[in-house]
Structures are given as structure tokens and as C-alpha cells.
Structure 1
């Protein structure tokens, strides 16, 4: 089954859009996270520089904080803002916020530059840290200074941005998809109208295609209309020739009837059958022009046949079932009656007790199924059923043309006639005809 063009365009436009939004959003979130981390590191660097500026070395070699940083967070226990001073022998000074704990001293760079990293102390919240190795005047050995801030400040800011960005991206994506949907609806409207015109043309409710306000489709219409007109003329010419041929046969048939002896019943029946076929083709040739607007009610055509054939076969039952809201059939009533009359008469002749008829509307078709409980046919006979003049039961009268003519009529309306095994045990005939649609 072919996919819808609109659905294809939806996928072609929607998938890249969603992928672009997701990838772009992830890149934006990464860039924001990196920016927030850099800003926090810069804050740590400024605080570290101010802290180092307040360190002093005493004459006895000790390091003291001569000028405090002035941030209350370094005095608040558990704030995440800590400082710590160590030398080669261990930690010498730490902020009051650490209380009785010490942080693991990371390795500092040998060139004296600041080094930033994440710390995860045991049993404490994660920290963002900066460490630097310095030499104080009057101090014989260098010292290492560590300063930390709460990593939660970074994570909370990033989380807020991620949540807000996903909501904004979802809103923008929905707006973009709605815009794409509107564009597709407006852009494909001429194509839908073109499809409707083709369907009306096939159903016989239109003689030609109308021009459309789209350059590409308008060019297609201009190319198709001459082809449609040529086909119409060829079909009209064929109908006229068929009618002329049928008319030409009428006179020789009338002459042949005068030459047949009155008592020769076989030849007279054969000539009558030929005359009937010629009359049918004459009627069909004259009716072809009306078929494009043909319509009839299948149930009404069937009801009249059931009443008539029930009298001819009083010992057999005809069960009719019909689905509700059956639309009209795009077929002349006389043609439908001829098809159903042939099929129903054959079914009643073959049935033992019952013929079941089922009328259903499926999709764009009216489907009529006839089942009989007769002996049925084998596979070889089913394969040949419908061949012109072929008869399987020589004990019953007939010419063997009914099924073939019924199939020709059904196919002339764009329908079909098929046969198979019936669940009742006999033969099943399946007639499909297009449902009539109002223009």
C-alpha cells in the first residue's frame, strides 16, 4: 500500500526539525553549563586572590591570616565555602566553616597557576575548588592554598535553565509543526482537488479536468485534457461502430427467419437468441452515453427479481440480507437486473433448498454475494466458469452466455464478477460494482 504524500512530507519536515531542535538544545545547554562553570571559577579566582593577599608569614615561620576575606559564608558550617592552607607537612590553617574536618589537598600546579577541579568529600555535598601553590615573603617553603564553593550553586542554575529550555523548545517545536501542517494543508489543497476531479472523471460526473491555480498541476491538466477528449472520441466511435454492426445484422437475421421452416424449433430458437443478443448490444450502445450518470438501488432491483423467481422456483427459499445505509449503485437498473437475474436464476437451478443473497457496502463498492447449497463445481470447472457458450449442465435449458454477459456488464461499469466455493456447499458468486457518489 502506497504511503500518503502528506504523511511523507510530514516525516520529511518533522523529523529534521525535531532532530535539529534536540541537537541545538543539547548544545545550548552544554554551552550554558560551561559558561556558568567558568563564571563560578572566576568568582573562586577572585576570592582566592583576595584571600592570598591577606596571608602573612610570622618571624617564626608560621602563616597567619592577617586580613580576613570578609565573607560570612566562610564562617558558616556546612556552607560549602571553605579555605585551607597546607605545606609539605600537612594542613596548617582552615576556615571556621570546616569546623573539625579537613579537605583532601589536591595537587597544585608547579608553575604557580590556579588549578580548578571538582571535589567530592566523604559524606558532604560536592564542591567546586581552586588550588594554587604560592611563596610568601619570609617563608622558606612554598604553601598550597585551597578554596572551595558549593557545586550545588552551579547544578541548580543549570537545572533551572535545562527545564526552562526544554519547555521553550517544546513550545517552539509544536508551533513549527503546526506551521508545517498548515503549509502542507494549503500546499496540497490543489493536489487534493486534482485527485477529486480525476475520481469524478472516472465516475462519469465530469467530461474534462478544470484548470488549477498551480503552475505545475495546470500543465498536467493541459496535457491530460486532450488525451481524455481523444479517448472519449475513440470510445464514442467504438460505440457507434458497434451500433452500426448490430443494425447491419438485423436485416440478415430477419431474412434468415423467413428461410427457416416453421417446424424447425432449434434453428428458430438459435435465431431468436442471436436477435436478443443483437438487441442487447444495440441498447447497450445507445445507453453508454447515459452510463456516466447511471444509478439505481440494488435492493429495489433485487426485490423485483426475488418475487419473480420465487414463483418460478416455489420449492426453494431465497434469503436476502442487506447492510444498513446502502448507497445507490453506479449502474443502470436494467443492466443490474440482467446481471442479478442471470446469477439468481442459475443459483436457484443449482440449489437443493436455499439461495442466500447478501448486500454490503465496503469502501467505495457495493458487494452482492449469492450462495447456493447445490452440488457446486470442481476446481477445473470453476477456472472455466464464464467462458462464452460454456455449459456444465446440459439437462437444463440455456445458451451458456448468461455468466459471460453478466461479467462483461459488470466490468463495463468498473466492477467485477468472481466465483468460488460457497460455505453452503454449492457455488458462490461475488459481484462488485462501484457505489454512486454525488458530484
Structure 2
């Protein structure tokens, strides 16, 4: 399938131009043929006139001069064929050029005066013939048919030459037309290229919307896209504000409940109830944090981001080194300096923070982060040398909609947030064994 609009228009225009020329060629050839035949007819009529002017009748018999006014009749190889027949159809005179010709022709005295026709001989050769009936000096017995002929091969040779030139001319015209069409389409589609550039800038976050410096046919499209962008931003902001308000309204009652639980725990008979209450309050707080993170880390529908990976990893590893300084974890970053991933920075920070924190917490002393770039993809891999994840637990952990915090209360929401972020960017998360001995989390980004 051809995905280029300019190439589609170019091919369509080329096809239409070719069909037009193919339809025009026969008409032009016919016109050339008719014009050439008319020219031959006029020439033969002129030759007949020359013979008529030279003919004389003496004592009822035709006399032709030895030398005719047109010198071509006087030479044997000029190809000027002239014949004169009497009323009974007997040949009474022929030009010198006909000495080696045996033309099988008999005139018809039908009162039409003159006739232009095309005849074929027994050997297959064809001739154009112009036949004029005349009564010299007005005598009935002095009626003659004066005939001039021309071989059709001369006409055919001329027509073939014209046809060849016509094909060459049409080919050159078609090539020139294609060049002009390409230039015209390039100029005409310049506004679409500018629109594409602006969309790329919107996706990259360089600009907030599309300009109005486009042809009026595109203004409705750009206006709709701008309204969509504005509506998306407002909706996302309202969503975040609502969740922030909800979190703020719930935090205070939760704090009060937590304080009540601590007070209840001071009594010996109520310690078990206090422990249950504290556990549920912590569970509710985790759920609030989780929903807030889901709302804030969703990617935008039209804006695409790119974040340089290595500086962000170095910052996270520096922070985790301080948290797990007793472990003295060795981190290997197998990532180029300018390597990037197609994510918003906040989402990438949350994703890497959760995965690296798990790797630090479960490792025995080694963590490795690598980035591979197979065609059309980016593969980010975070490995550790810890105990790993049992094979029978991997499918449940990575299943869409499955969250560790619901299956195991009090264990955190890290992988659930990671899975939601990855799903929102149409990426894929897989869990395998690492050559280091522990788990290997692989995230695959598909590049458009």
C-alpha cells in the first residue's frame, strides 16, 4: 500500500495523463493520415493538370510532346507515374517512369469527372491513383482518362516517420509533464508538510497548539485539533484537581483515625483491634497514593516525549545507594550517554524508581541496567542477583489488572504502578531469569 499522499497523487496524475495521450494518439495519427492523403491528392491533381496542358489532338488522335513541361516526366527513375487511356480503356500513352511498371488498372467512365482512390496490385503493392475524365477539344471521340499514380509505400514511410516523431514528442511531453506535476504537487503539499512539522512540535511538547497560518481548507482540521488539545489539557487538569481534592479531604479523617488507633493501642485489651485498624488505615492510604499516581502519570494522547535515560538512572542510583548503603550494591549501567526512551519524565522516574528499588531491596549486591535497540524497538532491562521470582508466580504478577497490593496487603503498590505506566505507553513488560541469578524485568517500547 502506498502511504505517501504526494506519490499517490503523482501516480494518479501520471495514469490519467498516459490514458489521455493514448486516447489522443490514434486521433492525431488519423488526422495526420488524412492531411497527408489530401496533400497527395492535390499533388496528383497537379500532375494530371500538367499532362492535360501538354496533350494535343490531331486528326482525332492524341499527341504528347517528347519533352513535357515537368521534367520529372522526362526522366525514367523519378517515380512520377502518368498514364492516358482512351474511351475504350486502351492505354495510349505512359510516362518514362512507368517503363518498368506493370500497373493493372482500367479507368471507369462513369461521368464523375475525377476520382481519387487506393488500389492494390496482384503482387501486393498499393498505389494512390488520381483519375480525371476529359474531352479534349470538345469532341466525343476525343474523350480520355488521364491518370497519375503514386506508390503507397512513400506515403507509409512518411506516416511512419511522423508516427515515430509523434511518439517521441509525446514521451518527452509526458516526462516534462511529470516533472511539472511533481514540482506542482511539492509546492501544493507544502502546507501539509508544515502542518506535519507543527504536529511533531506538539508531540514533542515544543508548542501548545497548531497555528492558523494554513490554507483555509485546512483551518477546520487545525481548529478541531486545537480544540482537542485544549479539551484534553482541561480534562486532565480537572481529573488531577478532583483527585487532589479527594486525597486532601480523606487525609485528614485518616490522620484522625490513625491517632485514635494509636490511642486505642495503649490499652492492653484493645491492642488487636488497634492493629487491625492501623493496617486498614495504611491500606486506604496506599490506595489513595496509587490512584493519584495513576492519574498523574498517564501519557498525553497527542504529545510524545523523549527523556535521556542515563542521567536519570544515575540520580536514582545515587539516592538508592544512600538508602541501601549497608548493602554496598554494585550497579552496572550498560547504556549510551545519549540513549533515550519515549516517555514523559515523571512517568519514567516513577517506573524506574519502583523497579530499581525492588532490585536494590532483593539483590545480594549486583544490579545491572541495559538498553538494547533492535529494529523498530527499544528494550530496557533491569536485572539483579537476588532470589528471583518463581516461574509459577510470574504470570500472576504480570497479568493485566493484577496488583500485588490487593493480593498481599501491606506489600506496597510498586509493580501495579509500573504495569499501569507501561500499559499507558503501549509498551510490554516481561519477567525472566537473569544471568546474574535473580530476576530480569524487560520493558519493550515499540517505535512508530
TM-score (norm 2): 0.68
Q: 1:301–1:108: structure 2 CA closer, same or farther, 3 Å change rule?
A: farther
Deviations 1:330-386 (A, max 9, x none): 3324134157659989xx9xxxxxx998733656x6455899x999689xx699922
In the TM superposition, residue 185 of structure 1 has moved relative to its aligned partner by 2.4
Q: In 2, are the aligned partners of 1:343 and 1:429 still within 8 Å (CA)?
A: no
Greater C-alpha Rg:
2
Q: Check 1:186–1:40 CA distance in 2 against 1; reply closer, same or farther (3 A cut).
A: same
Q: Aligned partners of 2:186, 2:298: CA distance in 1, in Å?
A: 38
Instruction: Give the whole-Å Cα distance in 2 for the aligned partners of 1:323 and 1:68.
Output: 101
| Number of the residue aligned with 2:436 | none
Contact 2:282 2:410 in 1 (8 A): no
1:331 to 344, 357, 377: 344
Where structure 1 has 5 or more consecutive residues not aligned to the other structure, the ranges are: 312-318, 349-354
Distance in 1, matches of 2:410 and 2:58, equals: 132
In the aligned structure 1, how far is the partner of 2:16 from the partner of 2:182? 15
Corresponding residue for 1:417? Answer: 428
* 1:39 alignment partner in structure 2: 39
Aligned to 1:28: 28
Task: Give how far 1:53 is off.
Answer: 3.5
SS at match of 1:432: strand
In structure 2, relative to structure 1, the CA distance for the partners of 1:375 and 1:146 (3 Å cut) is farther
Structure 2 residue runs without a partner (length 5+): 266-270, 325-331, 434-438
Corresponding residue SS for 1:132: strand
Deviation at 1:111, TM superposition (A): 1.9
Matching residue of 2:307 = 296
Q: Contact 1:339 / 1:409 at 8 angstroms: preserved in 2?
A: no
- C-alpha change, 1:47 and 1:290, in structure 2 (3 Å) is closer
Provide closer, same or farther for how the CA distance between residues 404 and 433 of structure 1 changes in structure 2, counting only shifts above 3 A.
Answer: farther
Secondary structure class of the residue paired with 2:307: coil
Distance 1:290 1:222, change over 3 A: closer
Deviation at 1:212, TM superposition (A): 1.3
Q: 1:289 to 1:82 in 2, by over 3 A?
A: closer
**1:103: how far off?**
0.6
Shift of 1:406: 2.6
Alignment CA distance shift 1:100-1:222 (3 Å): closer
Number of equivalences: 418
- In structure 2, distance between residues paired with 1:24 and 1:181: 23
Q: Deviations over 1:3-34 (max 9, x none)?
A: 44334433454443444344445433432332
Check if 1:74 corresponds to 2:73: yes
Deviations 1:277-328 (A, max 9, x none): 54455567667799968543457778999999xx9xxxxxxx9998998544
Partners of 2:344 and 2:168 in 1: CA distance: 58
Contact 1:109-1:115 within 8 A present in 2 as well:
no
Q: Aligned pair 1:198/2:209, yes or no?
A: no
User: What's the TM-score once normalised by structure 1's chain length?
Assistant: 0.69
Aligned counterparts of 2:10 and 2:249: Cα–Cα separation in 1: 60
- CA–CA distance in 2 between the matches of 1:420 and 1:241? 35
- Give the equivalent residue in structure 1 for 2:219: 218
Deviation of residue 107 (structure 1)? Answer: 5.0
- State the distance in 2 between where 1:39 and 1:146 align: 17
Describe the SS at the equivalent of 2:30. helix
Alignment of structure 1 residues 154-233 onto 2, 5 Å: 154-222=155-223, 224-233=225-234
Aligned-partner SS, 2:103: coil
Within-5 A mapping of 1:17-416: 17-57=17-57, 59=59, 63-66=62-65, 68-87=67-86, 88=88, 90-105=90-105, 108=108, 110-121=110-121, 126-136=126-136, 140=141, 143-222=144-223, 224-254=225-255, 259=261, 275-276=285-286, 278-279=288-289, 282=292, 295-298=306-309, 327-332=340-345, 333-338=348-353, 359-360=372-373, 366=378, 368=380, 385-389=399-403, 404-412=416-424, 414-416=425-427
SS, match of residue 189 in structure 2: helix
Q: Distance in 2 between matches of 1:64 and 1:418?
A: 112
Q: Is the 8 A contact 2:283 2:410 kept in 1?
A: no
1:105 CA drift (Å): 0.3
